[in-house]
Amino acid sequence: KWISPETTDKFRIVYTGIFYKTREPFVFFDALSSLKDIWKDLEVIIAGDMPNDEYRQYAENKGLSEIVRFIGFVPRKRALSLQKGASLLLLIGNGGGIQVPGKVYEYIASRRPILLIKMDSRDIASAVIERFKRGICIENDPQKVSESIVYLYNLWKNKRLDGEFNLEGVDEFSWDRLAKRLEEIIMEITWIRKPFLSD
């Protein structure tokens, strides 16, 4: 079912989901605190159940209450609506090169630009985002994060943000396509193992 985007006239950065100890937003908040020049146009929405107030407290201590809104858990439909209406989606990657956050596929489906903060050089999500030209991938460094936000904000201000990225649908990640690929892998494994099973 089609979900309408929840939009605003501000440069809205959206994060949906929870934060993990290996993927925390502290550097992102540090970067935001240095961008007071664009605060008048900036809004950050964090939608997700936060088990404690650690992140909200950190953002408040950085003086970000004016621009960062923690709205807590929202139904999936609203989360998707926020994603589709965002100017920019925030993604915090995984280090170690062993896992892609499931959120990356959801974000790609929303057809909005993504700002990925990489935990290290082996972050697999960055390969996906770069391959499909869906956004910008940067190191977990306050200066680099703030520079990237300013760059993306300026594109937005000049109505050039969407044109900078490939925001078309990606059929490769549709459920039908993924199910077919899984079936092919299972058949391949079954076929390879058959000779051994007949011994």
Tens digit of each residue's pLDDT, the chain (199 residues): 578 999 999 999 999 998 888 889 999 999 999 999 999 999 999 999 887 789 999 999 999 999 999 999 999 999 999 999 999 999 998 877 777 778 888 898 899 999 999 988 888 888 889 988 999 999 999 999 999 999 999 999 999 999 999 988 765 555 566 566 667 777 777 665 555 555 4
> What's the whole-model pTM score?
0.84
CA 183, 185, 187, 193 torsion-angle sign: negative
Torsion of CA 172, 168, 152, 18, to 10 degrees: -50
What do you get for the CA distance between the two ends of the chain, in Å? 50
pLDDT for the residue 123? 86
pLDDT for the residue 102? 80
pLDDT for the residue 96? 77
pLDDT for the residue 95? 77
pLDDT for the residue 136? 96
pLDDT for the residue 61? 96
β-sheet with 88-92: strand ranges across = 68-72, 42-47, 11-16, 88-92, 114-118, 135-139
pLDDT for the residue 63? 97
Contact call for residues 133 and 111 (beta carbons, < 8 A): no
> For residue 28, which of 151, 113, 138 has the smallest C-alpha distance?
138
- As given in the structure block, the two tokens for residue 136 are 């910008």
